[in-house]
Amino acid sequence: MGLINLLLKDPITFVILAIALLYSIIFHELAHGWVAFQMGDSTAKYMGRLTLNPLSHLDLLGTLMLLFVGFGWAKPVPINMNYIRNKRSGLILVSCAGIIANTILAFIALLVFRLISPSPSGSIGLFLYYFAQINIILAAFNLIPIPPLDGAKILMGFLSPRAQYALLRLEPYGFFIIIALLFAGALDPIIRFFRWIILTIIGFLLF
């Protein structure tokens, strides 16, 4: 179910959820570009992607899929590994950046929720709840080791060149594989497992 149905049924919740989702995705992509920039790759900066402006990150097809199907994406931040000295560690750190950013955002949202104790049904409470849950799901989903997701790139950083090449050969078909597995429910146990790990880390930090 996409966000369009929610817009028709509950416009206020739609706006809250849309803003939370939009900036969760933006911070995820921004983190990739920022870490790459710190490691010597200025590609994202020169292409105007180190910004919180949604127009710089939104992908038309990904946005439409999100609205009507409930699954979407933003434009990937351009990374040129040739500008990064240590390509193996660079690949791991840049790929981890978005996942770590989403985990930190979820932690902050839950921490603020705990400190201010807003009404769960109020606008602030709903935003913090959705913002935390969306970031946890984004982090967990991106840990799946299927290209082009971050989990596959992190895995590639630990593999031999031959194994990296074998995984890269899946990338042109990765989107279709992920969609098929999602609709079949085959990825649900993996996402739940990664979600449990992230929640355990956040819970440890909170308490």
User: What is d(CA 122, CA 111) in angstroms, rounded to the nearest whole number?
Assistant: 17
Contact 140, 191 (CB under 8 A): yes
User: What is d(CA 207, CA 202) in angstroms, rounded to the nearest whole number?
Assistant: 9
In the annotation, is 29 catalytic? yes
User: What is d(CA 136, CA 148) in angstroms, rounded to the nearest whole number?
Assistant: 19
Strand, helix or coil at 65? helix
DSSP 89-140: HHHHHHHHHHHHHHHHHHHHHHHHHHHH---TTSHHHHHHHHHHHHHHHHHH
Query: How many degrees, rounded to 5, is the angle at CA 88 between CA 83 and CA 94?
Result: 65
Beta strands in the chain (DSSP E): none
In the chain, the amino acid numbered 178 is I
Residue 70 sits at φ, ψ, to 5 deg, of: 95, 5
| Cα dihedral value 71, 103, 94, 181, nearest 10 | -30
Residue tagged active-site, from 21, 29, 33, 129: 29
Residues designated catalytic? 29
